[in-house]
């Protein structure tokens, strides 16, 4: 369906003012960002639903779900999925369809989508029924060839390039596997200039009797905005935690990795070996009316962040009409699985392979490995867009969450 892009012309069309402090760029072509969904369970081969595994390219999960619904003659609401996947990527994921023969599903012809397999299953695929996501990410070195300073990673004979740099990245990778990576939410969650967070705060300020209608006038938009605010609050608490993100301290609410259960830490000396062994991890707040809170100094730190965002005491939290936020706890860290860093054989960058649990952001992992990363898909107006997508809806150009001004001098000709 689609060939693998080389990314060789990518450096010829980056505006110099977009590079900022980034050394590497991602998504110069969709094939540079590969995601494979690993399901929580396989389809049984029997039942009234059909699980369909597809590979999509430059399509959102919602667009593919609508295309599948049209092809199957069902409504989009009847299509199940475990999670959403990136648009500017080549991604493989599962959907479910009701009352569709697997043989018929295999013959579906959809734009930029291949149906790989189809099997019956008794139930609809539910959100969150996902074991992990496996990634294969290509990072292109965007330092000018032959410039001053160290050579570009992977550009020397044999693909090893700057061996010292590659060794340093691999040492950071080993540390992330040992300690875990900060389980921060990616900046794409917060919208242009962080407007999702500000709109969510405005929704909470209106009160129960004057609930302001969100942007699109529906509950789904309000839920999305509140979720963005929850994510921003968690990130702020994680930032306050600093280098203690991988430790447990007195008053923490810790999560047991194997069972997901929560408990208060009343003896850090006793629990610290379990934290070092990755059996337990400290958690941060996803605020809501039923969220469990930590104790002591940890609780005071969380309350200070809540105050900064204008959040009331949780029992007094008032949400827009029809919106619920019960709250939960999110681990401060996650452990990358099968993390592997290698130089590109063609030179000029590295390739990172890993698997992450649901809800973890691979862009956060990349930043922990190599620092700020330039995402070339942000603000990509020169690429063809599906009819459902709007150029105005695209997020701004960003380097690691910092807004980058548009325009500027091009560093070379357009490919």
**Of 194, 281, 204, the residue nearest 241 (C-alpha):** 281
- State the Cα–Cα distance between residues 19 and 16, nearest whole angstrom: 6
Q: Are residues 194 and 304 in the same domain?
A: yes
Q: Is residue 217 part of a domain?
A: yes
> Angle CA(232)–CA(371)–CA(257) in degrees, nearest 5?
55
Q: Are residues 329 and 207 in the same domain?
A: yes
Whole-number pLDDT of residue 162: 52
Out of 67, 86, 162, 165, the active site residue is 86
Q: Are residues 228 and 124 in the same domain?
A: no
- State the Cα–Cα distance between residues 162 and 185, nearest whole angstrom: 31
182 neighbors 332 (Cβ within 8 angstroms) = yes
- State the Cα–Cα distance between residues 140 and 162, nearest whole angstrom: 14
What tokens does 105 get?
């599903």
Q: Are residues 24 and 173 in the same domain?
A: yes
Q: Is residue 413 part of a domain?
A: no
345 neighbors 361 (Cβ within 8 angstroms) = no
Whole-number pLDDT of residue 316: 79
Domain housing 321 = 181-334
> Largest Cα–Cα distance in the chain?
69
- State the Cα–Cα distance between residues 41 and 393, nearest whole angstrom: 35
42 neighbors 117 (Cβ within 8 angstroms) = no
State the burial class of residue 5 (Cβ atoms within 10 Å of its Cβ: 0-12, 13-18, 19+): middle
Whole-number pLDDT of residue 15: 45
**Of 201, 233, 197, 203, the residue nearest 218 (C-alpha):** 203
Whole-number pLDDT of residue 365: 97
Q: Is residue 279 part of a domain?
A: yes
Annotated catalytic residue 165: no
Q: DSSP code of 185?
A: P
Q: Is residue 18 part of a domain?
A: yes
292 neighbors 251 (Cβ within 8 angstroms) = no
- State the Cα–Cα distance between residues 391 and 399, nearest whole angstrom: 19
What tokens does 243 get?
């280098």
Strands 90-98 and 80-81: antiparallel
**Of 202, 184, 193, 194, the residue nearest 228 (C-alpha):** 194
Write down how long the chain is: 415
Q: Are residues 196 and 169 in the same domain?
A: no
In this prediction, what percent of the chain has a pLDDT beyond 70? 78
User: In a 3-state reduction of DSSP, which class is residue 153?
Assistant: coil
Q: Give the number of domains in the chain.
A: 3
Residues 6+ apart with CB under 8 A from 171: none
- Alpha-carbon distances of 122 from 38, 47, 80, 104, 362, rounded to whole Å: 19, 4, 13, 18, 32
Q: Are residues 268 and 124 in the same domain?
A: no
Listed as ranges, residues in the chain with pLDDT below 70 are: 1-20, 144-164, 192, 206-217, 379-415
Distance of CA 226 to the CA centre of its chain: 17
Whole-number pLDDT of residue 22: 82
Given 128, 147, 168, the domain boundary residue is 128
């Amino acid at each position: 369906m689609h060939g693998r892009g080389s990314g060789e012309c990518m450096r010829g069309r980056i505006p110099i003012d977009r590079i900022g402090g980034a050394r590497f760029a991602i998504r110069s072509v969709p094939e540079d960002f590969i995601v494979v969904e690993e399901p929580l369970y396989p389809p049984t081969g029997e039942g009234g639903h059909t699980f369909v595994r597809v590979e999509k390219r430059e399509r959102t999960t919602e667009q593919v779900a609508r295309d599948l619904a049209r092809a199957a003659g069902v409504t989009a609401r009847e299509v199940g999925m475990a999670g959403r996947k990136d648009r500017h990527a080549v991604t493989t994921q599962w959907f479910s369809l009701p009352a569709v023969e697997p043989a018929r599903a295999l013959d579906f012809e959809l734009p930029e989508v291949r149906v790989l397999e189809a099997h019956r299953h008794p139930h609809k695929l539910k959100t969150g029924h996902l074991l992990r996501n496996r990634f294969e990410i290509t990072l292109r070195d965007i330092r000018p060839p032959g410039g001053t300073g160290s050579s570009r990673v992977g550009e020397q004979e044999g693909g090893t390039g700057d061996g010292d740099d590659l060794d340093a990245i691999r040492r950071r990778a080993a540390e992330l596997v040992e300690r875990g990576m900060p389980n921060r939410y990616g900046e794409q969650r917060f919208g242009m200039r962080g407007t999702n967070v500000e709109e969510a705060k405005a929704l909470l300020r209106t009160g129960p009797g004057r609930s302001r209608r969100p942007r699109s006038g529906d509950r789904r938009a309000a839920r999305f905005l509140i979720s963005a605010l929850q994510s921003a609050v968690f990130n702020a608490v994680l930032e306050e935690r600093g280098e203690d993100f991988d430790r447990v301290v007195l008053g923490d609410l810790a999560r047991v990795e194997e069972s997901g259960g929560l408990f208060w830490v009343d003896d850090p000396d006793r629990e610290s070996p379990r934290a070092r062994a990755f059996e337990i991890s400290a958690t941060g707040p996803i605020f809501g009316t039923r969220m469990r809170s930590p104790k002591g100094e940890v609780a005071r730190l969380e309350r200070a962040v809540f105050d900064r965002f204008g959040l009331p005491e949780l029992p007094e939290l008032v949400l827009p009409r029809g919106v619920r936020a019960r709250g939960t706890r999110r681990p401060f860290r996650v452990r990358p699985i099968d993390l592997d860093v290698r130089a590109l054989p063609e030179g000029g960058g590295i390739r990172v392979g890993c698997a992450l649990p649901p809800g973890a952001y691979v862009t956060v992992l990349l930043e922990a490995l190599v620092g700020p990363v330039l995402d070339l898909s942000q603000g990509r107006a020169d690429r063809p867009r599906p009819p459902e997508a709007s150029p105005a809806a695209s997020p701004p150009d960003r380097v690691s969450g910092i807004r980058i001004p548009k325009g500027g001098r091009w560093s070379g000709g357009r490919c």
